[in-house]
Amino acid sequence: MDVTIVTVGRPQITLNVTRGAARLLADLGYAPLAEVSLPNGRRADLMALGPKGEIAIVEVKSGVEDYRVDRKWHEYLPYCDRYAFAVAPEFPREILPEEPGLLICDGFGGAVLREAPATPLAPARRKALTIAFGRLAAMRAAGVAATSLEG
Amino acid sequence: MDVTIVTVGRPQITLNVTRGAARLLADLGYAPLAEVSLPNGRRADLMALGPKGEIAIVEVKSGVEDYRVDRKWHEYLPYCDRYAFAVAPEFPREILPEEPGLLICDGFGGAVLREAPATPLAPARRKALTIAFGRLAAMRAAGVAATSLEG
């Protein structure tokens, strides 16, 4: 009997986890937008807008190395009410910090393993981010390949 | 010599004027979203979000009959800061009311013939509309065929 072992590469894991996290966010009532460049130059893998205007950012980590080379998660906090990591089921989650939320996702959906604590945005920044999110999303819907959130 | 007269049908005019008006809005700095159902059941042909959060609604009128059978333009005013009609160059614009703005558009762009007067939304409604716009736009960007703006 021939056995074929299929190893899933890093880009494919990122794609799967991102898709699953987007579906999970939608299930939770958040409208997600992928690849959003923030005013400070960081790029959010997913930014999502909740029914009451809550802003969530989710960072996808495809593997240990991906996490180790990019520990700048604090830099996302000024742009959201809640921040979470999203990883595949096989990711060694004990290496992740405990402060952010944690989503376990595959290509079809996901589950909230640890809810992100809420640290509400200041009103002026929330307003600016909400407007910028809406404008970027509308441009995306119109087929414009825009990525940057305006100031 | 054979002469072929091409008459452009109503749906094609609507499509052209809508596309041109969306481009004009984008040129003016507004991010447009097509076919947005409002909480009162009316459907906006284009709703657009400006850089400071200004909300504009544009109604496309393909011809005289289209305008005569649907004179409910006042019903859009509670959902925007500025309201305008968009029509093709050959539309008899003298039949339109003078209060709203007026955009003359073809399939490639347009011009502002009369600016819409600003009647600013109340803060609570503006906030709710901005959030709903962003959520609808993000769902559209994700390929979900949503049309309704939430309450």
Which of B65, B72, B6 is CA-nearest to residue B40? B72
Predicted confidence (pLDDT) at residue A11 exceeds the cutoff of 90:
no
A117 in reach of chain B (CB within 8 A): no
Query: Is A2 part of any domain?
Result: no
Q: How far apart are the first and last CA of chain B?
A: 59
Q: Would you state the pLDDT for residue B146?
A: 75
A-chain residues within 8 Å CB-CB of B49? 131, 134-135, 138
Q: What is the pLDDT of residue A145?
A: 74
Instruction: Report the domain count for chain B.
Output: 1
A136 touching B, CB under 8 A? yes
The answer to whether residue B147 is domain-embedded is no
**A45-62 pLDDT, tens digit each:** 999 999 999 999 999 999
Percent of chain A past pLDDT 90, that is, above it, reads 77
In a domain, A61, yes or no: yes
Residue A151 confidence (pLDDT) above 60: no
Q: Measured between CB atoms, does B142 come within 8 Å of chain A? A: yes
Per-residue pLDDT reduced to its tens digit, B23-71? 999 999 999 999 999 999 999 999 999 999 999 999 999 998 888 877 7
CB atoms within 10 A of CB B30: 23
For the entire predicted model, the pTM comes to 0.91
Considering only the beta carbons, identify the residue of A33, A52, A150 that sits closest to B51: A150
CA distance B150 to B139: 12
DSSP A80-124: -SEEEEEE-TTS-GGGS-SSSEEEEEETTEEEEEEPPPP-PPPHH
Q: Does residue A8 register a pLDDT over 80?
A: no
- Residues A20, A112: contact at Cβ < 8 Å? no
The count of other CB atoms within 10 Å of the CB of residue A145 is: 7
Indicate whether A151 belongs to any domain: no
Q: Look up the domain containing A40 and give its range.
A: 10-141
Asked if B135 reaches chain A (Cβ–Cβ under 8 Å), the answer is yes
Measured torsion, CA atoms of residues A12, A73, A120, B31, in degrees rounded to the nearest 10: -50
Q: Considering the domain boundaries, does residue B111 fall inside one?
A: yes
pLDDT score of A146 more than 80: no
Q: Does residue A70 surpass a pLDDT of 90?
A: no
Tokens, residue A28: 């939770």
Averaged confidence pLDDT in chain B: 92
| Exposure letters A54-64 (e unless 16+ CB within 10 A, then b) | bbbbbbbbbee
Chain A residues closer than 8 Å to B148 by CB = none
Domain contains B100: yes
Edge-to-edge strands of the sheet including A31-37? A31-37, A43-49, A55-61, A82-87, A101-106, A109-114
Q: Does A58 map to a domain?
A: yes
**Rg (chain B; Cα; Å):** 16
Cβ neighbours for B55, distance < 8 A, ≥ 6 positions apart: B47, B48, B49, B79, B80, B81, B82, B121, B126, B129, B130, B133
